[in-house]
Structure 1
Amino acid sequence: MATDWRADTVELLRALVREAEPDVVEEAKWRKASNPDGVPTFSLDGLVCTLETYKDKVKVPFARGASLRDPSGVFNASLDAGTRRALDVHEGEEVDRDAFVALVRAAVAANRA
């Protein structure tokens, strides 16, 4: 895993997911030689989101993001995708913590519906 701003961003987002839904299950999936730590995935009654680290961003794809209301405009990537939506966080960008927590809660509610 990256040990720079991306690691800090992943830790912040991980904490926000847990704040939003303390019962969420985190697993590392898709381990490979180029990413031995794998991809953190968060599930509760289905996949909620993943935290993907890239050279220039941390991407948070929401599995069913296209079906979620996003009044604060958290989603800024994969906006034309059929099912998912994502948040891309680049170095120096701030995450709207309250809006992100609300989006995680909405994703869990959608999984339970």
Structure 2
Amino acid sequence: MSDPVSEKIESLGDWRGALLTRIRRTINDAAPGVVEEIKWRKASNPLGVPTWSHNGIICTGESYKDKVKLTFMRGRDLDDAQGLFNVPADGVRRAIDFKEADALDEAALAALVSEAVALNLAGDKSG
């Protein structure tokens, strides 16, 4: 049996799964030692939400019918030099909604992930 993150991604079976595969690879390349797991399983989403952590949660990858939402738990504290965040801030969290036709800027995403890891490693959890 595959790991739970792969199972979730494979269950999508369309562009969302392909995009999450690319996002996953980018995160893993940008954050050696990242921990992948599934969180928040519930009846309406039995396969849960892919989550990436390194000394705290970096981000989650939720899938909806029309988008993939990558939510950074401490997004408000990130510079986001390339302007990837396109969802209004929700407290400390910020997100990127990817629609089917959207391009994935792997270099910009990797930089954002690296920045999030550095923030987590700095130990300031005041967010």
Q: TM-score, normalised by structure 1?
A: 0.94
CA–CA separation in structure 1 for the residues paired with 2:91 and 2:43: 30
Letter in 2 for 1:57: K
The structure carrying a bigger helix percent of its residues is 2
- Note if 1:94 corresponds to 2:100: no
DSSP-derived class of the 1:26 partner: strand
Partner of residue 110 from structure 1, selected from 96, 119, 122? 119
Name the structure 2 match of 1:72: 82
CA–CA separation in structure 1 for the residues paired with 2:60 and 2:120: 15
Note the aligned Cα RMSD (angstroms). 1.0
Q: What is the Cα deviation at residue 2 of structure 1?
A: 1.4
Letter in 2 for 1:29: K
Greater relative CO, 1 or 2 (CA 8 Å, sep 6+): 1
CA–CA separation in structure 2 for the residues paired with 1:112 and 1:103: 14
Q: What is the Cα deviation at residue 80 of structure 1?
A: 3.2
Contact 2:89/2:95 (<8 A) preserved: no
Partner of residue 12 from structure 1, selected from 18, 22, 25? 22
CA–CA separation in structure 1 for the residues paired with 2:121 and 2:77: 13
- Figure out how many residues of one structure are paired with residues of the other and give that number: 112
Q: Extract unaligned runs of 5+ from structure 1.
A: none
Deviations 1:51-104 (A, max 9, x none): 000011000000000000011101111x33220111110001101110000000
Name the structure 2 match of 1:48: 58
- Note if 1:23 corresponds to 2:33: yes
Partner of residue 38 from structure 1, selected from 48, 69, 82? 48
Bigger Rg, structure 1 or 2? 2
Letter in 2 for 1:71: A
CA–CA separation in structure 1 for the residues paired with 2:56 and 2:117: 8
